[in-house]
Amino acid sequence: MKRELVSGRGEAAGTSYSVYAPQSPQSDRAHETVVLIHGVGMNQSVWAPQIDALTAAYQVVAYDMLGHGASALPTPAPTLDEYASQLEALLDSMQIERAHVVGHSMGALVALEFALAHPQRTLSVAALNAVYDRTPAQREAVMTRAATLGDAPAVAGVDATLSRWFGDPVPGHLTQAAQAVRDLLLSVDPIGYARTYRLFASSDDAHVGRLAALAVPALFLTGECDPNSSPSMSRAMAEAAPLGRAEVLSNARHMMNVTDPARVNQRLLAFLAQASAANAAHAFDTTNGSISGERHD
Protein backbone atom coordinates (compact mmCIF):
# COMPACT_ATOMS: atom_id res chain seq x y z
CA MET A 1 0.00 0.00 0.00
CA LYS A 2 1.55 3.32 -1.06
CA ARG A 3 1.76 6.07 1.53
CA GLU A 4 3.93 9.00 2.46
CA LEU A 5 7.04 7.96 4.37
CA VAL A 6 7.36 10.22 7.42
CA SER A 7 9.85 9.84 10.28
CA GLY A 8 8.31 10.40 13.68
CA ARG A 9 6.93 8.93 16.87
CA GLY A 10 3.42 7.88 17.67
CA GLU A 11 1.02 5.79 19.72
CA ALA A 12 -1.54 3.38 18.34
CA ALA A 13 -3.91 1.24 20.40
CA GLY A 14 -1.63 1.39 23.44
CA THR A 15 1.60 0.81 21.51
CA SER A 16 4.35 3.41 21.45
CA TYR A 17 6.38 3.32 18.24
CA SER A 18 8.88 5.21 16.10
CA VAL A 19 9.06 5.16 12.31
CA TYR A 20 12.15 6.02 10.29
CA ALA A 21 11.96 6.83 6.58
CA PRO A 22 14.44 5.27 4.16
CA GLN A 23 17.43 7.46 3.39
CA SER A 24 17.02 6.74 -0.33
CA PRO A 25 13.28 6.95 -1.05
CA GLN A 26 13.82 5.96 -4.68
CA SER A 27 15.67 2.72 -3.92
CA ASP A 28 14.18 -0.61 -4.98
CA ARG A 29 13.36 -1.60 -1.39
CA ALA A 30 12.30 1.77 0.02
CA HIS A 31 8.66 0.66 -0.08
CA GLU A 32 9.43 -2.27 2.24
CA THR A 33 9.23 -2.00 6.03
CA VAL A 34 11.44 -3.65 8.64
CA VAL A 35 9.85 -3.97 12.11
CA LEU A 36 12.12 -4.33 15.15
CA ILE A 37 10.94 -6.09 18.34
CA HIS A 38 13.13 -5.84 21.46
CA GLY A 39 13.62 -8.36 24.26
CA VAL A 40 12.44 -8.51 27.88
CA GLY A 41 13.48 -5.51 29.96
CA MET A 42 14.46 -3.39 26.96
CA ASN A 43 12.54 -0.89 24.85
CA GLN A 44 12.67 0.36 21.27
CA SER A 45 15.75 2.49 21.98
CA VAL A 46 17.93 -0.63 22.17
CA TRP A 47 17.75 -0.83 18.36
CA ALA A 48 19.57 2.50 17.88
CA PRO A 49 22.69 0.74 16.50
CA GLN A 50 20.59 -0.77 13.69
CA ILE A 51 18.57 2.25 12.53
CA ASP A 52 21.10 3.99 10.27
CA ALA A 53 22.16 0.75 8.60
CA LEU A 54 18.63 -0.49 7.94
CA THR A 55 17.23 2.83 6.76
CA ALA A 56 19.85 2.86 4.02
CA ALA A 57 17.34 0.73 2.10
CA TYR A 58 14.15 0.28 4.15
CA GLN A 59 11.54 2.07 6.17
CA VAL A 60 12.05 0.98 9.79
CA VAL A 61 9.51 0.72 12.59
CA ALA A 62 10.61 0.10 16.20
CA TYR A 63 8.09 -0.20 19.00
CA ASP A 64 7.78 -0.89 22.71
CA MET A 65 6.55 -4.37 23.54
CA LEU A 66 3.57 -4.68 25.89
CA GLY A 67 4.66 -3.85 29.44
CA HIS A 68 7.73 -1.95 28.26
CA GLY A 69 8.60 1.64 27.47
CA ALA A 70 5.46 3.71 26.92
CA SER A 71 3.24 0.83 25.76
CA ALA A 72 0.31 -0.62 27.69
CA LEU A 73 0.63 -3.51 30.13
CA PRO A 74 -0.16 -7.03 28.95
CA THR A 75 -2.89 -9.02 30.67
CA PRO A 76 -1.88 -10.68 33.98
CA ALA A 77 -1.23 -14.04 32.31
CA PRO A 78 -0.41 -13.17 28.70
CA THR A 79 0.20 -15.50 25.77
CA LEU A 80 2.51 -15.12 22.79
CA ASP A 81 -0.55 -14.51 20.67
CA GLU A 82 -1.27 -11.37 22.70
CA TYR A 83 2.15 -9.97 21.78
CA ALA A 84 1.79 -11.02 18.14
CA SER A 85 -1.63 -9.34 18.07
CA GLN A 86 0.01 -6.14 19.31
CA LEU A 87 2.18 -6.14 16.19
CA GLU A 88 -0.80 -6.94 13.96
CA ALA A 89 -2.76 -4.00 15.38
CA LEU A 90 0.24 -1.69 14.94
CA LEU A 91 0.65 -2.65 11.28
CA ASP A 92 -3.08 -2.15 10.75
CA SER A 93 -2.96 1.31 12.29
CA MET A 94 0.00 2.28 10.10
CA GLN A 95 -1.60 0.75 6.98
CA ILE A 96 1.40 -1.52 6.44
CA GLU A 97 0.27 -4.66 4.66
CA ARG A 98 3.51 -6.70 4.86
CA ALA A 99 6.82 -6.32 6.67
CA HIS A 100 10.13 -7.94 7.42
CA VAL A 101 9.96 -8.79 11.13
CA VAL A 102 13.14 -8.81 13.24
CA GLY A 103 13.05 -9.81 16.90
CA HIS A 104 15.64 -10.22 19.65
CA SER A 105 15.29 -12.81 22.45
CA MET A 106 11.65 -12.52 23.63
CA GLY A 107 11.09 -10.36 20.56
CA ALA A 108 12.28 -13.28 18.43
CA LEU A 109 9.55 -15.48 19.93
CA VAL A 110 7.00 -12.78 19.09
CA ALA A 111 8.38 -12.41 15.56
CA LEU A 112 8.14 -16.15 14.93
CA GLU A 113 4.63 -16.30 16.39
CA PHE A 114 3.53 -13.45 14.13
CA ALA A 115 5.11 -15.05 11.06
CA LEU A 116 3.42 -18.38 11.77
CA ALA A 117 0.03 -16.78 12.38
CA HIS A 118 0.25 -14.20 9.58
CA PRO A 119 2.50 -15.47 6.78
CA GLN A 120 0.63 -13.33 4.26
CA ARG A 121 1.78 -10.23 6.15
CA THR A 122 5.38 -11.36 6.69
CA LEU A 123 8.05 -10.73 4.05
CA SER A 124 10.67 -12.48 6.16
CA VAL A 125 11.50 -13.15 9.80
CA ALA A 126 14.84 -12.79 11.59
CA ALA A 127 15.12 -14.34 15.06
CA LEU A 128 18.14 -12.98 16.93
CA ASN A 129 19.32 -14.81 20.07
CA ALA A 130 16.14 -16.86 20.14
CA VAL A 131 15.37 -19.61 22.65
CA TYR A 132 14.14 -23.01 21.55
CA ASP A 133 13.58 -26.29 23.37
CA ARG A 134 15.74 -25.60 26.44
CA THR A 135 17.41 -28.44 28.27
CA PRO A 136 15.89 -29.38 31.64
CA ALA A 137 18.71 -27.53 33.43
CA GLN A 138 18.23 -24.40 31.30
CA ARG A 139 14.48 -24.50 31.86
CA GLU A 140 14.87 -24.89 35.63
CA ALA A 141 17.26 -21.92 35.81
CA VAL A 142 15.02 -19.55 33.88
CA MET A 143 11.86 -20.64 35.72
CA THR A 144 13.65 -20.07 39.03
CA ARG A 145 14.54 -16.54 37.96
CA ALA A 146 10.94 -15.92 36.89
CA ALA A 147 9.64 -17.08 40.28
CA THR A 148 11.77 -14.50 42.12
CA LEU A 149 10.43 -11.45 40.29
CA GLY A 150 8.68 -8.91 42.48
CA ASP A 151 7.07 -5.50 42.20
CA ALA A 152 10.34 -3.58 41.90
CA PRO A 153 13.53 -4.18 39.93
CA ALA A 154 16.20 -5.83 42.07
CA VAL A 155 19.69 -4.48 41.56
CA ALA A 156 21.20 -7.88 42.32
CA GLY A 157 19.01 -9.48 39.66
CA VAL A 158 19.97 -6.83 37.13
CA ASP A 159 23.67 -7.33 37.82
CA ALA A 160 23.26 -11.10 37.41
CA THR A 161 21.54 -10.50 34.07
CA LEU A 162 24.39 -8.28 32.89
CA SER A 163 26.88 -10.99 33.83
CA ARG A 164 25.01 -13.50 31.67
CA TRP A 165 24.67 -11.07 28.77
CA PHE A 166 28.09 -9.38 28.79
CA GLY A 167 30.38 -11.60 30.84
CA ASP A 168 31.78 -11.32 34.36
CA PRO A 169 33.61 -9.07 34.60
CA VAL A 170 32.23 -6.98 31.77
CA PRO A 171 35.01 -6.46 29.19
CA GLY A 172 36.31 -2.91 29.23
CA HIS A 173 35.25 -2.12 25.67
CA LEU A 174 31.65 -3.12 26.51
CA THR A 175 31.33 -1.05 29.70
CA GLN A 176 29.31 1.74 28.07
CA ALA A 177 26.94 -0.69 26.34
CA ALA A 178 26.45 -2.65 29.57
CA GLN A 179 25.66 0.53 31.50
CA ALA A 180 23.04 1.55 28.92
CA VAL A 181 21.40 -1.87 29.15
CA ARG A 182 21.57 -1.72 32.96
CA ASP A 183 19.74 1.61 32.90
CA LEU A 184 16.98 0.09 30.77
CA LEU A 185 16.59 -2.90 33.09
CA LEU A 186 16.35 -0.65 36.16
CA SER A 187 13.77 1.67 34.56
CA VAL A 188 11.41 -0.93 33.06
CA ASP A 189 7.93 -1.23 34.57
CA PRO A 190 8.37 -4.10 37.07
CA ILE A 191 4.84 -5.44 36.51
CA GLY A 192 5.22 -5.44 32.75
CA TYR A 193 8.66 -6.98 33.07
CA ALA A 194 7.49 -9.75 35.40
CA ARG A 195 4.48 -10.68 33.26
CA THR A 196 6.58 -10.74 30.10
CA TYR A 197 9.52 -12.59 31.63
CA ARG A 198 7.27 -15.33 33.01
CA LEU A 199 5.89 -15.86 29.52
CA PHE A 200 9.41 -15.86 28.07
CA ALA A 201 10.52 -18.40 30.67
CA SER A 202 7.75 -20.83 29.75
CA SER A 203 7.70 -20.38 25.96
CA ASP A 204 10.89 -22.04 24.72
CA ASP A 205 8.79 -24.93 23.39
CA ALA A 206 6.11 -22.71 21.84
CA HIS A 207 7.39 -23.34 18.33
CA VAL A 208 8.63 -26.90 18.69
CA GLY A 209 6.85 -28.94 16.04
CA ARG A 210 5.48 -25.81 14.32
CA LEU A 211 8.40 -24.41 12.35
CA ALA A 212 7.78 -26.76 9.41
CA ALA A 213 4.84 -24.46 8.67
CA LEU A 214 7.00 -21.31 8.63
CA ALA A 215 6.36 -20.29 5.04
CA VAL A 216 8.72 -17.28 4.77
CA PRO A 217 12.50 -16.77 4.57
CA ALA A 218 13.86 -17.10 8.11
CA LEU A 219 17.21 -16.16 9.64
CA PHE A 220 18.25 -17.58 13.01
CA LEU A 221 21.22 -15.53 14.18
CA THR A 222 22.93 -15.86 17.56
CA GLY A 223 26.26 -15.45 19.31
CA GLU A 224 28.84 -18.16 19.76
CA CYS A 225 29.09 -17.31 23.48
CA ASP A 226 25.37 -17.07 24.26
CA PRO A 227 24.69 -20.17 26.39
CA ASN A 228 20.97 -19.50 26.85
CA SER A 229 20.17 -18.67 23.20
CA SER A 230 22.75 -21.09 21.97
CA PRO A 231 24.02 -21.84 18.46
CA SER A 232 22.52 -25.33 18.73
CA MET A 233 19.08 -23.77 19.28
CA SER A 234 19.41 -21.59 16.18
CA ARG A 235 20.62 -24.52 14.11
CA ALA A 236 17.71 -26.68 15.28
CA MET A 237 15.20 -23.97 14.33
CA ALA A 238 16.81 -23.44 10.93
CA GLU A 239 16.73 -27.16 10.27
CA ALA A 240 13.02 -27.29 11.09
CA ALA A 241 12.05 -24.25 8.99
CA PRO A 242 11.71 -24.91 5.23
CA LEU A 243 13.33 -21.59 4.30
CA GLY A 244 15.52 -21.32 7.38
CA ARG A 245 19.19 -20.52 7.73
CA ALA A 246 21.35 -20.39 10.88
CA GLU A 247 24.28 -18.04 11.37
CA VAL A 248 26.54 -17.67 14.40
CA LEU A 249 28.67 -14.63 15.28
CA SER A 250 32.01 -15.67 16.73
CA ASN A 251 32.79 -14.43 20.26
CA ALA A 252 29.42 -12.66 20.55
CA ARG A 253 27.04 -12.92 23.51
CA HIS A 254 23.34 -12.23 24.09
CA MET A 255 23.22 -8.47 23.49
CA MET A 256 25.08 -8.70 20.19
CA ASN A 257 22.95 -6.03 18.50
CA VAL A 258 24.56 -3.46 20.84
CA THR A 259 27.97 -5.11 21.36
CA ASP A 260 28.57 -6.18 17.74
CA PRO A 261 26.34 -3.88 15.68
CA ALA A 262 28.51 -3.84 12.55
CA ARG A 263 28.44 -7.62 12.19
CA VAL A 264 24.77 -7.91 13.12
CA ASN A 265 23.83 -5.19 10.64
CA GLN A 266 25.85 -6.81 7.87
CA ARG A 267 24.13 -10.18 8.41
CA LEU A 268 20.69 -8.58 8.61
CA LEU A 269 21.13 -6.50 5.46
CA ALA A 270 22.42 -9.48 3.48
CA PHE A 271 19.49 -11.62 4.62
CA LEU A 272 16.89 -8.92 3.98
CA ALA A 273 18.24 -8.28 0.49
CA GLN A 274 18.02 -11.99 -0.34
CA ALA A 275 14.53 -12.22 1.15
CA SER A 276 13.40 -9.21 -0.89
CA ALA A 277 14.78 -10.77 -4.05
CA ALA A 278 13.10 -14.09 -3.26
CA ASN A 279 9.77 -12.38 -2.65
CA ALA A 280 10.09 -10.44 -5.91
CA ALA A 281 10.87 -13.64 -7.81
CA HIS A 282 7.93 -15.40 -6.18
CA ALA A 283 5.60 -12.55 -7.12
CA PHE A 284 6.88 -12.69 -10.70
CA ASP A 285 6.33 -16.45 -10.90
CA THR A 286 2.85 -16.14 -9.42
CA THR A 287 1.96 -13.40 -11.91
CA ASN A 288 3.05 -15.67 -14.74
CA GLY A 289 0.89 -18.54 -13.52
CA SER A 290 3.46 -20.64 -11.70
CA ILE A 291 4.98 -20.74 -8.23
CA SER A 292 8.67 -21.51 -7.88
CA GLY A 293 9.66 -24.30 -5.49
CA GLU A 294 13.24 -23.09 -5.20
CA ARG A 295 14.61 -22.77 -1.69
CA HIS A 296 16.23 -19.36 -1.11
CA ASP A 297 18.71 -19.65 1.73
Query: How does pLDDT run across 59-71, given as a tens digit for each residue?
Result: 999 999 999 999 9
Under the banding of pLDDT at 50, 70 and 90, the label for residue 153 is low
Is 50 exceeded by the pLDDT of residue 292? no
Is 70 exceeded by the pLDDT of residue 293? no
Which of 71, 229, 254, 279 is labelled catalytic? 254
Which of 16, 18, 43, 105 is labelled catalytic? 105
C-alpha distances in Å from residue 264, one per residue of 36, 53, 55, 173: 13, 10, 15, 17
The predicted-structure confidence for 8-29, as pLDDT tens digits, reads as follows 899 999 999 999 999 988 777 8
- Least confidently predicted of 166-175, 218-227, 254-263: 166-175
Under the banding of pLDDT at 50, 70 and 90, the label for residue 285 is low
Given a contact cutoff of 8 angstroms between Cβ atoms, the answer to whether 200 and 80 are in contact is: no
Q: What is the mean pLDDT of residues 261-266?
A: 98
DSSP collapsed to 3 states, the chain: CCCCCCCEEEEECCEEEEEECCCCCCCCCCCCEEEEECCCCCCHHHHHHHHHHHCCCCEEEEECCCCCCCCCCCCCCCCHHHHHHHHHHHHHHCCCCCEEEEEECHHHHHHHHHHHHCHHHEEEEEEECCCCCCCHHHHHHHHHHHHCCCCCCCHHHHHHHHHHHHCCCCCHHHHHHHHHHHHHHHHCCHHHHHHHHHHHHCCCCCCCCCHHHCCCCEEEEEECCCCCCCHHHHHHHHHHCCCEEEEEECCCCCCHHHHCHHHHHHHHHHHHHHHHHHHHHHHHHHHCCCCCCCCCC
- Least confidently predicted of 144-148, 203-207, 221-225, 255-259: 144-148
% pLDDT > 90, the chain: 83
> For residues 93-108, b (16+ Cβ closer than 10 Å) or e, as one string?
ebebebbbbbbbbbbb
C-alpha distances in Å from residue 36, one per residue of 110, 134, 281: 11, 24, 25
Q: What is the mean pLDDT of residues 84-100?
A: 97
Q: What is the pLDDT of residue 28?
A: 77
Active-site residue, 38 included: no
Which of 18, 85, 129, 229 is labelled catalytic? 129
Domain 8-135+202-287, CATH homologous superfamily name and number? Alpha/Beta hydrolase fold, catalytic domain (3.40.50.1820)
Active-site residue, 85 included: no
288 or 178: which leads in pLDDT: 178
The predicted-structure confidence for 196-245, as pLDDT tens digits, reads as follows 999 999 999 999 999 999 999 999 999 999 999 999 999 999 999 999 99
Q: What is the mean pLDDT of residues 32-37?
A: 98
Is 60 exceeded by the pLDDT of residue 291? no
The whole-angstrom distance between residue 180's C-alpha and the CA centroid of its chain comes to 19
Q: What is the pLDDT of residue 24?
A: 85
Q: What is the pLDDT of residue 294?
A: 28
The overall average pLDDT reported for the chain is 91
**How is the chain split into domains, by residue range?**
8-135+202-287
- Which residues, 6 or more positions from 112, have their beta carbon under 8 angstroms from its beta carbon? 103, 125, 127, 130, 207, 211, 214, 218
pTM as predicted: 0.91
Q: What is the pLDDT of residue 148?
A: 86
Active-site residue, 228 included: no
Is 80 exceeded by the pLDDT of residue 1? no
- Give the number of other Cβ atoms within 10 Å of residue 168's Cβ: 9
